[in-house]
Structure 1
Amino acid sequence: MTNKYGNPADDWAVRTVETLLKREPEVNLKGKWEYEDGLMLDGVMSVYERTNNKSYLDYIKHYFDTYISENGAVKGYDPSLFRLDDINNGKVLLKLYKLTNDKKYKRVLDRQFQQLQNQPRTASSLFWHKKSYPNQVWLDGIYMGDVFYAEYLENFQDNPSYDDVIHQFLKSYEIAIDKETELCYHAVDESRKMYWSNKENGHSPHFWLRSLGWYVMAMTDVIEHLPEDNTGREQILQNLNKLLTALRNVADPSTNLWYQIPDEGNRPMNYLESSGSLMILNAIAKSLRMGYLNDDSWQEFLVSGWENALKQFISITNEGFVNVNKIAHVGGLGGPNHRDGSFAYYMSEPIVANDHKGTGPFIMLANEMQLYY
C-alpha cells in the first residue's frame, strides 16, 4: 500500500522536521511557555537522537534560549499557578541539559520539580490539574507532569523513591476507568462539585480521544524510567496493555484510527481525529519496540494504522511542506467558556492543521516507524 505522496517507509519524521525549520523558525510567536511546543520539540529531539543532525538540536536550543534567562527565569512560566501543563517542556529541556550542561537549564528543571513538590493534591493525593481547577485530575496532566517527575528523580536524586510517581499513575487509572469498556474518562472531579462531573464517581461525561492519547503515551514513556523490579512498574505495564486493548476494540475497523469521541464512531458529526490517533499509534509503536506488547497482531494493526494515518491526515503543499490536518484544536472542561464535556461541546471545537498537538505526535510516530522499518 503506497500513500499518494510517497511510501510509508519514507522518512516522514525528517521531512516534517525540515518543514518546521523552514516554516516555523521561531517555534512560537506568541511569547508563551506552552506545553504543545515541548511536545513538538520532543519529536524533534527523537529525530536528532536518530540522525545526529545538529540543525535539529540547534532548533531546540534556540527555542529554550528565547525563553530562559541566565538566572533560570522563564518568560511566561509562573509556578504559583500550579499548571501541570507548564511542566511538559521540562522533558525535552532535561535532554538538552544533558547534551549541553548549561546550568541555566538545570535551574529551570529544579523550579519545575519544586512546583511538583508543592502542587496541590486531591484527597487521594493526586495532583490537581492546575490551581484554578481544584480537586480535578485530567488524563492530560499525567503526561504533562508525571513523566518529568520520574525523569528528574532518575537523573538528579540518589536512591530515589518512585512511590509517588507510581501512585499518580495507578490511582488515576483506578478512578478514571470505566469497568464496562475499560476506557478512561477525560477527567475526574474528586470533589464531585463541578457541573460537568458525575455525582457518583466524579467522571466527566465522555471519553475523549486526545486525553486517552496523552495517557497511553505517558504510561509508555514512564515505564523505562522505573526500576524493573518495582511492582508498580509491572502494574502500570498491565494497565497500559488493558487500555491499548480497549482502544483497539473501539478503533475504526476500516482504518485502525480513532474518532474524536472514540466509542461513538457512527454518531453524526463525529470525525476521525489526528492528534489522538497519532498519539495512540505512537504508544503502540514504542511499546512494540520496548517489548511492552508481545502479541504479534499489534504489528499488523500498527502498520495499517500508520498507512491510513498518512492517507487521512497528511497533505503536502506546493513547496513540499508537510501538513498535519484534522487536529482538534482544544478540548477541556469548565473554565470561562463553561465547557460541559458533552458530545456537542467536543464537536464544537475548531478542527485545525499544523497545531503542535498534532505535529509533535506525528513526528514521534514517524520516527518510531523509521526504527520499525
Structure 2
Amino acid sequence: MDKKIKWSIKAADSIMQRLPHLYEDNGNNGKWSYDYGVILKGFEKVYEQTGNHKYFSYIKENIDYFIKDDGLIKGYDLEDYNIDNINNGKMLFPLYKKTKMEKYKKAADLLFCQLQRHPRTSEGAFWHKKIYPYQIWLDGLYMGTPFYAEYQMTFGNCNLEDVIHQFRVSYTHLLDKNTGLLYHAWDEKKIQPWANKQTGLSPNFWGRSIGWYLMAIIDTIEIIPDQTPGRDFLIEIFVRSLKALLKYQDEQSGVWYQVTDKLNEKGNYLEASCSSMYVYSMAKGIRLGILKSAEWKVQVIKSFNGLLNEFVLLTKEGWLNLNKCCQVAGLGGESQRDGSYAYYISEPIICNDQKGLGAFLQACAEYEEVVGEV
C-alpha cells in the first residue's frame, strides 16, 4: 500500500464518487436505512478534520432527501418501533447546529418521541423492534443510545440516567463471564427458537454486534459530561470488553473473525466491518484518554495496518474497495435465522457494504487523529 495516502480522505472521496446518493445503493430505493448514518458519521468527522465543505454538503444532501420542511421523515413510521430507525437521527444534530433549520430539530423531536414510547423489557431496556418483542440485541445500543444521549444534551433536560441504564441492563444479560465477550442477543421470555431455554441467550458471539456495542459505548462516553453518574461504569465495560477481544485477535493479520471465538473453525473468515469497529473504538478510546497505556497505541497501529493489508484494495481509478464484509446477520424473522455458527458464516460476504465502509471511514479518521497518517 502507498504509505502517503490519507485513508479517511481516500475512503470518503471513493464513497462520494461511487454513491452520490446513499439511498440508491444496493436496492434501497429510498429506504430510511440505518446504514447511511454509519457512513455519514464518518463524513462528519472528516469534515471536522479538514474543514472541506463538500463533506458537510454530502451529509446534508443525503439527509435532506428524507427530512421534510415540517420535520416528518420520508419512509419512517414511528409505530414500527424499530430501534434501527433512530440511527440516522445522529446526523440531525450537526445539521441543526450549522444551519439552524427547524426541520432538523423537528425530525429529532420525532425520533425522540419514538424512544419515549418505545416498548421495553421488564427492566426498562428498549426492545430491538416491535416485531422482535422482549429482545435486546447488541446492535440496538448503537442505533439508539448515542442519539438518546445527544438529544438529552442538545434539546432535552440532560437526564442521562436512562441512557446509562440501557447499557447496565444489556451488559448484565449479554455478558459471557468465561470469555468476557458479549452474545449477540437476549430474549427475556426465552421463547425464541434461537434462544437458550435457560438463559435466553443467542448461541454465538458475532463480531459486528460486539463492534456495534463498543462504538455505542465510546460514542456515548464522548457525548455525556465527565461528572455524569454511571460514566465510570461505561468506561469500565468498554475497557473490559476491548481487552477480552485481544484474546481472539488473529495474531498474524491483527484483525478479527466473523464469529469471534471460532478462530480455527472451518468456514470462519476475517471480517472487515467488525475489525474496523474495533480499530475505531481503540483509537477513540486513546483520543479520549481512556486507553492510556503505550500498549494500546501499539495495538491500534497493528490492527489498522491489518485493515489495510487484509481488506483494502484500490481500483485502477484509485477508488477504495473494502472487501470481506458480512452483508447482514440477525436472529429470527421470517427466515427463522437460528444464530448458529453455520448461519453466521452462510450470510453473503460482499465488497463495499455501507456498514463496513462507514466503520472503516470512522476508524481511519479516528486513527489519523491519534497516530497520524500511515
TM-score scaled to structure 2, two decimals?
Answer: 0.97
**Conservation of the 8 A alpha-carbon contact between 2:146 and 2:220:** yes
Query: SS of the counterpart of 1:28?
Result: helix
Query: SS of the counterpart of 1:67?
Result: coil
Cα separation, 2, equivalents of 1:141 and 1:125: 14
Residues 233-244 of structure 1 aligned to structure 2 (within 5 Å): 233-244=231-242
Correspondence for 2:243 among 238, 245, 258: 245
Shift of 1:272: 0.2
Cα separation, 1, equivalents of 2:57 and 2:14: 15
Query: SS of the counterpart of 1:250?
Result: coil
In the alignment, structure 1 residue 254 sits paired with structure 2 residue 249? no
Correspondence for 2:278 among 270, 277, 280: 280
Cα separation, 1, equivalents of 2:189 and 2:290: 35
Shift of 1:17: 1.0
Query: SS of the counterpart of 2:321?
Result: strand
Residues 61-72 of structure 1 aligned to structure 2 (within 5 Å): 61-72=60-71
Shift of 1:121: 0.3
The aligned amino acid for 1:339 is R
**Conservation of the 8 A alpha-carbon contact between 2:72 and 2:110:** no
Residues 156-235 of structure 1 aligned to structure 2 (within 5 Å): 156-158=155-157, 160-235=158-233
Shift of 1:231: 3.4
Cα separation, 2, equivalents of 1:253 and 1:200: 35
Cα separation, 1, equivalents of 2:323 and 2:96: 33
What are the ranges of 5 or more consecutive residues in structure 2 without an aligned counterpart?
none
Residue 330 of structure 2 corresponds to which residue in structure 1? 332
Correspondence for 2:21 among 23, 26, 40: 26
Cα separation, 1, equivalents of 2:5 and 2:285: 21
Q: Aligned-pair RMSD on alpha carbons?
A: 0.9
Cα separation, 1, equivalents of 2:79 and 2:148: 18
Identity of aligned residues (%): 44
In the alignment, structure 1 residue 73 sits paired with structure 2 residue 68? no
Shift of 1:137: 0.2
Shift of 1:171: 1.2
The aligned amino acid for 1:172 is S
Shift of 1:71: 1.1
Cα separation, 1, equivalents of 2:78 and 2:366: 33
- Paired positions, count: 367
Residues 45-194 of structure 1 aligned to structure 2 (within 5 Å): 45-158=44-157, 160-194=158-192
Q: Please list the CA deviations of residues 51-86 of structure 1 after superposition, one character each: whole Å capped at 9, or x if unmatched.
A: 011111111111111111111121111110011100
**Conservation of the 8 A alpha-carbon contact between 2:161 and 2:229:** no
Cα separation, 1, equivalents of 2:145 and 2:88: 12
Residues 290-301 of structure 1 aligned to structure 2 (within 5 Å): 290-301=288-299
Query: SS of the counterpart of 2:269?
Result: coil
Cα separation, 1, equivalents of 2:110 and 2:332: 28
Q: Where has structure 1 moved over 6 Å in runs of 4 or more?
A: none
Query: SS of the counterpart of 1:260?
Result: coil
Cα separation, 1, equivalents of 2:317 and 2:223: 41
TM-score scaled to structure 1, two decimals?
Answer: 0.97
Q: Please list the CA deviations of residues 225-274 of structure 1 after superposition, one character each: whole Å capped at 9, or x if unmatched.
A: 22322331001100001000001111111122110001011101000000
Shift of 1:11: 0.9
